Chain A
Amino acid sequence: MLARLQQGAVIDGFRLEQELPLAATAAFWRVSQEGSDTPLVMKIPRLEAGANPINIVGFEVEQMILPKLSGPHVPRFVASGSLENPYIVMELIAGQSLKARLPELPLPADEVAAIGVKLAWGLHDIHGQDVNHLDVKPSNVMLRPNGEAVLIDFGFSRHLRLPDILAEEFPGPIGTGAYVAPEQVLGNRTDRRSDIFAMGVLLYFFATGERPFGDPQTARAWRRRLYRDPLPPRARRPDCPPWLQEIILRCLEVDPAGRYPTAAQLAFDLRHPDQVAITARGERIRRSSALGAAARWMRVKPRLPAFAQSGARGLHESPIVMAAVDLVPGQEILAEELRLAVRRILQTQPEARLICVNVLKLSRLALDPTEDEHGRNLHLRRLAELQYWARSLPMPGHGITYHVLEAVDPAAALLDYARHNQVDHIVIGARASSALRRHLGSVSAQVVAEAPCTVTVVRTPRP
């Protein structure tokens, strides 16, 4: 055990500067390290008699997982202590946790969506590193000054390629009552869509000021969410737009397969409310009747064993595919080849989401017309052409959306769009090579050079 925690004490080269007011499970100290200006925090578990054993093992879990994570959405791991002196030193995140926002709830829909996008991007990043957080809630989400979300406290998390010591020691469900997903209640810790569910709870809470399932404290009470649907957000807040309710209730589906397959796809919908396909789920203003609840339970009950075992498919099986479609007259054959390439991708990845994008090129100097010579809106015309282009594609599992970007630099616009929508795969056509094109550089070449993801370049067959 650490001898004495007091200001000025030095542990393995880290000087304790100030105790931070936080958490029952551990002490947090702001620490400094000689020769470094980086603000750091030391987390010291409470291991004294009477401490909750889940938190003790949770500390071990965090000790195993944090050093394996990287990127802006987790606190950077710096060091961990020994058996006698257990601690973790990590980057101190400037900024506040989402818990600080609770007094302001409910928040306007657009603000809820903006917070949701940041959180979903953070989650997508750690999911890509084989980690399910499994305790997503406002106090475990920090926002950096630049707006990026940081997930903290990996004490309940599951690394899919490491032993799950928490589950080995504690056979019952583990989580936070208000946020825990149905399959977690059944003891399943391997499904990343549990984090999507918790995000649904958080979005619901932020949009309405109420938690959808209350804050039950016993694992027995947690089970209620298996058979009872929450009151629709619009029943609590009539001004909650249907698109937001649609998104929230999709996150809260009992069956993990009914939720978003990836946090990136959830972020996409939150960023594009006008593209959300609103079903009866989005319009509902009442909870299902007793009869409806019974019918739902009859549907869900036989599937419980499956939920207890469910595992989401690999992230790469639910990709966001972006087709960059050039609609210039004379390039019909290339557009057709592009469609064939996209069709093949959708056939092998039925869980994909397809985004069809076209760039309406603006000139650098002139004031661009927004209408053609017949007075038709150019933007709408492109949109119609884009939909026509996609007409014969198989409908991917998670839908098709259409976007016309207006930009001076088409390649930069496409790249920007791909980055901001967590696109996994860009499919783009390349026109035939010519001396001029080689000299100026082509849009596809620039996209290939700078894309954050896989790019497929389609060419027409040589005549």
Chain B
Amino acid sequence: MLTALLADIHANREALAACLADAQARGVARHVFLGDYVGYGAEPGWVVDTVMAHVAAGATAILGNHDAAVFDRAADLNDTARITLDWTRDRLGAGQENFLRGLPLTAEAGDRLFVHASAWEPARWDYVTGPAAALRSFEATQHQKTFCGHLHVPEVYHLGRTAKIASFIPAYGTGIPLIPQRRWLAVVGSVGQPRDGVPAASYAVLDEERAMLTYVRAPYDVESAAAKVRAAGLPEVLALRLLQGR
């Protein structure tokens, strides 16, 4: 069975719609949403509704730091994020906010752990930016495979039996065999705000039977998404970011 792993949608309707359509065309049967449904983008309501509908149909969704900041006003966020969050709160209804409030920090299925940022103290939203942070995450869980987002840049860490940790930037479209002799920490890219220089939406597809992980790019109408950000009066930098993928 194929599972789509979707992280950091950030209220980008066009990007999420493109990923969902792409996943459907690939025969994806299950969805795991790895958090950060809101913030930065102009369509938080549509995105949260879409995730809610998928969860109602059996999908898994976990909490991201921007989602938590909707109801936790003490959250530590940068200025741009804070401005969007204030804007976002006014646009979410009680049902949408309650949905976010009810999301778990982690979810697991067999040998797989799903978390927004890192398996190490998930509510601290640690950034897996290098081997040290990856090791913190590996040591915090028994699961062979961990899937997370938060970084907006795809990267795969793996740990061998000699406890040597290494990482690589995945090539799009080539399935990576997540062999049982290693432990894996896959940072899937961002659906709604990629920061690796490629504007196309980024997500990953996991083939559970074959333990094969494939990173995918879904091109979408970036101009429309950026225009909506501008029309909403959100900071210009957020529109530019979408256009440049940085």
A443 within 8 A of B: no
| CB-nearest residue of chain B to A169 | B164
Q: Is the CB of B210 within 8 A of A67?
A: yes
B177 within 8 A of A: yes
Contact of A86 with B166 at beta-carbon distance under 8 Å, contacts A56-B161, A161-B171 already known:
no
Contact with A along B147-173 (1 / 0, CB 8 A): 000000000101011101011100100
Q: How far is the CA of A60 from the CA of B171 in the complex (A)?
A: 19
Q: Is the CB of A162 within 8 A of B164?
A: no
Q: Is the CB of A163 within 8 A of B158?
A: yes
Q: How far is the CA of A307 from the CA of B18 in the complex (A)?
A: 43
B219 within 8 A of A: no
Give the total of A residues in contact with B, Cβ under 8 Å. Answer: 22
Contact with A along B133-154 (1 / 0, CB 8 A): 0000000000010000000000
In angstroms, how far is the closest chain B Cβ from the Cβ of A46?
A: 14
**Could you count the A-B residue pairs with CB atoms below 8 Å apart for me: how many are there?**
52
| CB-nearest residue of chain B to A67 | B177
- Considering only residues 104-162 of chain A, those with a C-beta below 8 Å from chain B are 130, 161-162
| A64 proximity list for chain B (CB < 8 A) | 176-177, 179
| A168 proximity list for chain B (CB < 8 A) | 164, 166
Question: Residue B160 contacts which of A57, A80, A82, A161 (CB distance < 8 angstroms)?
Answer: A57
A165 within 8 A of B: yes
A49 within 8 A of B: no
Question: In terms of DSSP, what is the predominant structure of the interface of chain A?
Answer: helix
B45 within 8 A of A: no
Q: How far is the CA of A57 from the CA of B177 in the complex (A)?
A: 15
B54 within 8 A of A: no
Q: How far is the CA of A68 from the CA of B176 in the complex (A)?
A: 9
Contact of A60 with B160 at beta-carbon distance under 8 Å, contacts A83-B181, A162-B174 already known:
yes
Contact of A60 with B181 at beta-carbon distance under 8 Å, contacts A67-B210, A165-B158, A168-B166 already known:
yes
Q: How far is the CA of A29 from the CA of B87 in the complex (A)?
A: 65
Q: Is the CB of B176 within 8 A of A162?
A: yes
| B176 proximity list for chain A (CB < 8 A) | 64, 162-163
Q: How far is the CA of A335 from the CA of B106 in the complex (A)?
A: 68
Question: Residue A82 contacts which of B167, B177, B180, B182 (CB distance < 8 angstroms)?
Answer: B180
In angstroms, how far is the closest chain A Cβ from the Cβ of B158?
A: 7
B122 within 8 A of A: no
Q: How far is the CA of A169 from the CA of B166 in the complex (A)?
A: 9
Give the total of B residues in contact with A, Cβ under 8 Å. Answer: 20
Contact with B along A56-78 (1 / 0, CB 8 A): 11011001100110000000000
Question: In terms of DSSP, what is the predominant structure of the interface of chain B?
Answer: loop
Q: Output the residue of A59, A67, A81, A130 with the most chain B CB within 10 A.
A: A67
Question: Residue B180 contacts which of A83, A162, A169 (CB distance < 8 angstroms)?
Answer: A83
Question: Residue B162 contacts which of A67, A86, A169 (CB distance < 8 angstroms)?
Answer: A169
In angstroms, how far is the closest chain A Cβ from the Cβ of B50?
A: 32
| CB-nearest residue of chain B to A57 | B160
Contact of A80 with B179 at beta-carbon distance under 8 Å, contacts A67-B210, A161-B171 already known:
yes
| B160 proximity list for chain A (CB < 8 A) | 57, 60, 165, 169
| A68 proximity list for chain B (CB < 8 A) | 174-175, 177
| B167 proximity list for chain A (CB < 8 A) | 163
Contact of A63 with B162 at beta-carbon distance under 8 Å, contacts A161-B174, A162-B176 already known:
no
- Considering only residues 197-214 of chain A, those with a C-beta below 8 Å from chain B are none
Q: Is the CB of B177 within 8 A of A63?
A: yes
| A59 proximity list for chain B (CB < 8 A) | 181
| A60 proximity list for chain B (CB < 8 A) | 160, 179, 181-182
A53 within 8 A of B: yes
Q: How far is the CA of A130 from the CA of B175 in the complex (A)?
A: 13
Q: Is the CB of B164 within 8 A of A163?
A: no
In angstroms, how far is the closest chain B Cβ from the Cβ of A70?
A: 13
Contact of A163 with B168 at beta-carbon distance under 8 Å, contacts A60-B160, A169-B162 already known:
yes
In angstroms, how far is the closest chain A Cβ from the Cβ of B210?
A: 7
Contact with B along A211-228 (1 / 0, CB 8 A): 000000000000000000
Q: How far is the CA of A434 from the CA of B18 in the complex (A)?
A: 48
| A163 proximity list for chain B (CB < 8 A) | 156, 158, 166-168, 176
Contact with B along A283-323 (1 / 0, CB 8 A): 00000000000000000000000000000000000000000
Q: Is the CB of A53 within 8 A of B162?
A: yes
In angstroms, how far is the closest chain B Cβ from the Cβ of A254?
A: 30
In angstroms, how far is the closest chain A Cβ from the Cβ of B101?
A: 38
| CB-nearest residue of chain A to B171 | A161
Q: Is the CB of A63 within 8 A of B181?
A: yes
Contact with A along B176-188 (1 / 0, CB 8 A): 1101111000000
| B162 proximity list for chain A (CB < 8 A) | 53, 169
| CB-nearest residue of chain A to B180 | A83
Q: How far is the CA of A63 from the CA of B160 in the complex (A)?
A: 14
In angstroms, how far is the closest chain A Cβ from the Cβ of B216?
A: 14
Q: How far is the CA of A396 from the CA of B210 in the complex (A)?
A: 44
Q: How far is the CA of A80 from the CA of B210 in the complex (A)?
A: 10
| CB-nearest residue of chain A to B182 | A60
**B residues whose Cβ falls under 8 Å from a Cβ of A:** 144, 156, 158, 160-162, 164, 166-168, 171, 174-177, 179-182, 210
Given contacts A57-B160, A163-B168, 4 further A-B contacts (CB under 8 A): A60-B160, A161-B171, A163-B156, A164-B168
Supply 18 A–B pairs (Cβ within 8 Å), ascending by A: A60-B179, A63-B181, A64-B176, A68-B174, A81-B180, A82-B180, A83-B180, A86-B180, A161-B174, A162-B174, A162-B177, A163-B158, A165-B158, A165-B166, A168-B164, A169-B160, A169-B162, A169-B166
| Interchain residue pairs A-B with the least CB separation, the first 10 | A168-B166, A161-B171, A163-B168, A161-B174, A83-B180, A64-B177, A63-B179, A60-B181, A82-B180, A169-B164
